[in-house]
A = this chain, B = another copy of it.
Amino acid sequence: MDKFVSLKEEKQVTIINAALSCFGKYGYAKASANDIAVLAGISKASVFQYFGSKKQLYAYLLTYAGDLIMSSFRQTDFDDKTDLFDRILLSSHTEAKTLEKNPYISQFILSAWTETADEVRDILTEFKKETGKFRNNLILRKDDVSKFKNPDDAETVLQILMLMAEGYAAYCRNAEKTMYSSLTDDFQKMIAAMRRNFYKEEYLL
- Tell me which of B30, B157, B171, B197 contacts A163 (CB under 8 A): B171
Q: Please tell me if A114 contacts chain B, counting CB pairs below 8 Å.
A: yes
Q: How far is the CA of A196 from the CA of B149 in the complex (A)?
A: 11
Q: Are A114 and B174 in contact (CB under 8 A)?
A: yes
Residues of chain B within 8 A (CB-CB) of A149 are 197
Q: Are B189 and A156 in contact (CB under 8 A)?
A: yes
In the complex, chain A residues 147-205 whose Cβ is within 8 Å of any chain B Cβ: 149-150, 153, 156-157, 159-160, 162-171, 174, 186, 189-190, 193-194, 196-198
Q: Please tell me if A64 contacts chain B, counting CB pairs below 8 Å.
A: no
Q: Please tell me if A26 contacts chain B, counting CB pairs below 8 Å.
A: yes
> Measuring CB to CB, which residues of chain A are less than 8 angstroms from any residue of chain B?
25-27, 30, 110, 114, 149-150, 153, 156-157, 159-160, 162-171, 174, 186, 189-190, 193-194, 196-198
Best-surrounded residue of A149, A170, A186 (most CB of chain B within 10 A): A170
- Tell me which of B30, B166, B197 contacts A166 (CB under 8 A): B166
Residues of chain B within 8 A (CB-CB) of A27 are 25-26
Q: Are A160 and B194 in contact (CB under 8 A)?
A: yes
- Tell me which of B160, B174, B186, B197 contacts A190 (CB under 8 A): B160
A26-B26, A30-B30, A153-B193 as given contacts; A160 in contact with B166, CB under 8 Å: no
Q: Are A159 and B190 in contact (CB under 8 A)?
A: yes
Q: Are B114 and A157 in contact (CB under 8 A)?
A: no
* A to B CB contacts below 8 Å, 27 in the list: A25-B27, A26-B27, A26-B30, A30-B30, A114-B174, A149-B197, A150-B193, A150-B196, A156-B189, A156-B190, A156-B193, A157-B193, A159-B186, A160-B160, A160-B194, A162-B167, A163-B163, A163-B164, A163-B167, A163-B171, A163-B190, A166-B166, A166-B167, A166-B168, A167-B168, A193-B198, A197-B197
